[in-house]
Chains A and B, each alone.
Chain A
Amino acid sequence: MSWKKYREHFKLHRMDEDHFVLGLDFGNATSAIAYFDVIRENAEILDISGGYGKPAAPTALQYIAASKEWIFGEYAILNANGQDSLLTGFAENLGGGAYLDIGDGNRSVVDIAAIYIEELIANCRSINPKAVVSGIVAVVPDFVASEAKTALSAAVAKAGYENLLIDLVEERQAVFAFCHHNKIAANKLMWLDFGDRGLRGGLYEIKDDYNTIECLAADFNEELGSAFIDREIYNLLAGFYCRTQKTQLDELSKTEQEQILTFAYGHKDVLLNNDGKDTRIYYNFVYPPFSEVVSASRIAGMAWAWENGLEDFVNRLLGNHFTDDITVICTGGGFEMPWAKKKIAQIFDTKQLYLQKNPKGILAQGATLYAAQKLELLRSPKFEIADGHKTQVDIGISITQGGKQRFYAIIERGSWLWQKPKTTYIIPTGENAEIELLTRDETGRISPLGIAKFKSMPKRPQGTTRIALDLEPTDNDRYTVKIKDLGFGEIYPATGLVERFDMRIV
């Protein structure tokens, strides 16, 4: 159903507080759901953690093959036993056509995401049995490929909501909807998202009360995701375990690994929130049980790299802009960690900071506010975003498929300049082993960008040179193109030749 039809339907049936359009933030580490409270005209986060009192639930499923049961969220992690399949981090694999081994066969990532989303929404419905889910708006990162967006829509539909309004909203649009609704007035807004897989940020100039928004800078650093903290804590706790049990990290059984994973998950909060004090932790899952002290300095050491990274990251985003007239909104579960809050508060004045108790929930709240704006329950600005930091055209090569020439995009139009595409491996079919780079604009018109070829190359037969191609945007119209000769098996070994080209879209 379109927003227009849905709006008419909504008005016609006078939907009340029991009809919800849910905002879904299906994250890689945790997921959150919010709904629009029509009485209070506000977005509320639903606690779907099953009594744990945490608004975000881990994006985790456990599959018990023996009883063909799926265990959802926090319980899946706590129930991990090394025997049944524990599935985590599957959100980032959406769109890749991947399948996961669940113990008694393979299931597609879309199927697994659908099972998770179905369970997630079932948890919400159990909170209010009268609730009628009228629609779902899911947030998607603005950098993911169109295949991932299609796969997320497919997962929501497979979860049993194929006939309901399903829309996807870009994360930053959800953030703007949230900021506008919460009257976070700013001339310039810096959005920092501390997620599982990295730290992402953008600096935006807000004009005319969010009607137009100009992106002044955008960046991403995958080293600064909260997953590194999880990894560090796991390694630390596994280290204690190995020392006591007289074993090595690489000798741990799957059961032991999952026990330590569960143990690390259960102790992360207490380790990171112990107010700068040493923490004694008890290994009660082994016999005889033992305890270890994690020193405060060890925890501070984990945070140190991130803290420095954040400062550099913010400085890069700021560029020549002054901090005085900037409001900063922080999202993502990483900002729940006290040292992350403390560090950001050192960089900016607290009056400039918007850091709510559940920063993970903001995107889901933004999504449901976006829905409320679309339904004309709330006043909506235009949110027209001008991006100077995104690619304006597709960049790719021409390939032959099924006897026909077609354009293969290596960088999709609308990608962020910080997005580095994966290396593409090509075996050119022409005589000179050269690669012609092409652009394709929004009308579909294809134009040449430039040719990448080696200056000197040993003579080889046609089709026997494998080349690694890397593209890196340096500006919104300039790209560094790198090619490397990989040779062809043992007969034509790699020469190690590397060439770089600076190409500009005319």
Chain B
Amino acid sequence: MGTLGLDMERGLYLGIDFGTTNSVVSIYNYKDGVAQTIPLDGSNIFPTAVQFETDPEDENKLSRIFGVQAKEAAVIYPLSTVLSIKRYLGQDEKIPVVVDDKEFSFAPEQIAAEILGYLKQRADQYAQDELNIDGEFSGCVITVPANSTDKQKSMTKQAAILAGFDPNSVYLRLEPAAAAISYAVNETKDKTVLVYDFGGGTFDAAILKIENNDDEPNISIVSTFGDNDLGGNDIDKIIIDMILEEFKKLTDGEIDLYNEDADDGVSKRQKKVAQVRLQQVANQAKERLSQSKSTKIVLAPFIQEPKIININMEITLEDFENYKRQNGQGDNPDLFEKFKDKSLTDLVDATLACIDKCLEAGKLAASDIDEIFLVGGSSSIPLVTTKIAEKFGKEPFKSKISPALSISQGAAYYCNMIMMPTVKGPTVQEVTIHPLGLELAGRRFMEIVAAGIVIPREGLVIEAKELLTTNHDNVPSMAIIVYESTEALDENPLVSAAGMKRLAGTSLRGIPQAPKGKEKVKVIFTVGQDNMLKVTAKSTSVDGLVTELSVDDLY
């Protein structure tokens, strides 16, 4: 039996791939020297879902059901089940939950914490029962999309803390880097690889260099580019749309399933049930179309009131690849605009466009890429392999383990680096992903942290080469506006250029009033290994006049 035979130098850590649709947890098994995925409720892949119900022993309390049972409960109890919570991390709106006609609301990180807490509890139990480990997982490495905002990262971290992990032992690492580790552990050759990570909610492209020093692979991130609103869920919506069009034909367009207040004879609850059924049947159809040329959709009956509507249709792979989405399906208008008239082929092309940006940011050509690794459930779609092969002239790799498990297992290797820093193994050179800087007068961008700078374990501290000066006479404050460029910089970049993202803005107040240019402010950027940014602005003339902030505080 595999046991973690060594005393941990820094406690016991769990590697968590907290996905939009599914989550996976892994640990590093010292005896066998490999990362090992922990099966939860009998499966390596755990649906990221929670359902609330009234506690049978106390009607004022809620009890929770997680995973497969929760995901399936969504059909019968759509109002008390929360799916795809990762998509809400980074937003301030509360998540409404209705249980037995009582309304509750939760912050997104609370819901995420509930699920992470369950993952922790089951992993603790597995470690004790199956691996003979005393104690529990006090720390974790949670992976986040390469292009997540600081606020998303911060809320993910907060959720892990709420779930019971030690606040000082929660590490965030980038998903593609984690995936790359699980590939790199067996590599003996130096390579430049592209990780194509198409998950349930997000897409990330990341280019990494794998170099072998002293027989141990060292991974460094060259560039990343992604889309936080492009994932398998959006592909499911294309199939939902095809079914909706069939439904519209059968009902002469008289029923709007996504307008719950419309007076069309279908109850709000029945509409919710229909939405969840559509979601589940579309997801199954997508998986089947990864293997076959057509699939049947049978929803009989789909709704019973005001009349019985049966759906019985066939979707071919060709239809699936070319159908263009027509219906909003309850998405906010901005988001729908992005996907309107877009087909699966268009969405896969959008991932290729991200790859182009990623190559550009890394100053590389497609021919510089030695290997391409596919990660994430959505990368199983055959069109992805076809398009990648066309673009790079070579077939992509899937994982030797599984595209679904590689991120979590990579996180487990990270755990090993944290738990046992003195033990040899693969290492990841954490580097800054994108150039970071400030806005200057004339909308100019001053780069303070360049992309690709190695982040030491204790964090990267860089002071702006120039001091900021006041632009007008007698101003008592100075604006500090932080930008990130997701694309390669021009020679004289402006903050209005394509790819510039305004991360945060604040003011340093209390500056002595003086003629313009006299007062100077020193700015320091500190980047942690989790790529989170802290900005410190100090007056050079007044001792103690400092503003220090994490970027996510400023949203």
Contact = CB atoms under 8 A, between A and B. Distances in A.
Interface of A: 17, 37, 39-40, 44, 46-47, 49-54, 64, 67, 69, 71-72, 75, 78-79, 81, 126-130, 267-270, 272-275, 279-282, 284, 287-291, 341, 350, 353-357
Contact of A46 (B397, B400, B404): B400
Given A47-B400, A127-B397, A284-B280, 8 more contacts: A54-B44, A126-B398, A129-B396, A268-B42, A273-B43, A284-B75, A284-B277, A355-B1
Nearest to B24: A53
A201 B236 CA distance: 47
B16 to A, nearest CB: 15
Interface in B435-483: none
Nearest to B379: A51
A466 to B, nearest CB: 49
Interface residues of B, number: 58
B37 A356 contact: no
A64 B43 contact: no
Given A129-B395, A287-B301, A357-B36, A272 B42 contact: yes
A248 B2 CA distance: 47
A282 B69 contact: yes
A52 B293 contact: no
B292 A69 contact: yes
Contacts of B41: 269-270, 273-274
A284 B299 CA distance: 10
Given A47-B402, A52-B45, A289 B75 contact: yes
Interface string B294-333: 1110111110100000000000000000000000000000
B349 to A, nearest CB: 22
A357 B26 CA distance: 13
28 contacts: A17-B186, A47-B400, A47-B402, A47-B405, A50-B290, A51-B377, A52-B402, A53-B24, A54-B44, A64-B292, A64-B294, A75-B287, A75-B291, A78-B287, A79-B288, A79-B291, A126-B385, A128-B397, A128-B398, A129-B394, A129-B397, A268-B42, A270-B69, A273-B39, A280-B73, A282-B76, A284-B280, A350-B132
A355 B130 CA distance: 10
Nearest to B71: A282
Contacts of B259: none
Nearest to A357: B36
B403 interface: yes
Contacts of A357: 2, 36, 39, 130
Contacts, number: 134
Contact of B72 (A81, A282, A350): A282
A343 to B, nearest CB: 14
A48 to B, nearest CB: 9
Contact of B296 (A37, A47, A81, A272): A81
A47 B1 contact: no
A79 B399 CA distance: 25
Contacts of B75: 282, 284, 289
B380 interface: yes
B291 A67 contact: no
B2 A356 contact: yes
B81 to A, nearest CB: 11
B399 A75 contact: no
Interface string B243-279: 0000000000000000000000000000001000100
B72 A47 contact: no
B65 interface: yes
Contacts of B402: 47, 49, 51-53
Contact of B292 (A39, A54, A75, A130): A75
Nearest to A83: B296
For the complex of A and B, the 8 pairs showing the least CB-CB separation, nearest first, are: A269-B42, A273-B42, A129-B395, A53-B44, A282-B72, A47-B402, A75-B291, A284-B75
Contacts of A356: 1-2
A287 B404 contact: no
A75 B380 CA distance: 13
Contact of A72 (B186, B291, B294, B394): B291
Interface string B1-17: 11000000000000000
B400 to A, nearest CB: 6
A106 to B, nearest CB: 22
B350 interface: no
Contacts of A274: 41
B423 interface: no
A51 B69 contact: no
Nearest to A66: B294
A326 B437 CA distance: 67
B68 interface: yes
A51 B404 contact: yes
B19 to A, nearest CB: 12
Contacts of A268: 42
Interface in B37-72: 37, 39, 41-45, 65, 67-69, 72
Contacts of B228: none
Given A53-B37, A78-B288, A281-B72, A69 B293 contact: yes
A375 B44 CA distance: 34
Contacts of B399: 47, 127
Contact of A52 (B73, B295, B404): B404
Contacts of A81: 296, 298
Contacts of A52: 44-45, 402, 404
A280 B44 CA distance: 20
Given A47-B405, A281-B72, A282-B73, A75 B400 contact: no
A244 to B, nearest CB: 13
Contacts of A353: 1
Nearest to B38: A357
Interface string B105-128: 000000000000000000001000
Given A78-B287, A282-B73, A269 B43 contact: yes
Given A71-B291, A126-B398, A127-B397, A50 B380 contact: yes
B188 interface: yes
Nearest to B291: A75
B434 to A, nearest CB: 30
B294 A67 contact: yes
Nearest to A127: B398
Contact of A128 (B1, B43, B67, B400): B400
Interface in B398-430: 398-405
A75 B397 CA distance: 21
B293 A53 contact: no
A281 B69 contact: yes
A51 B72 CA distance: 20
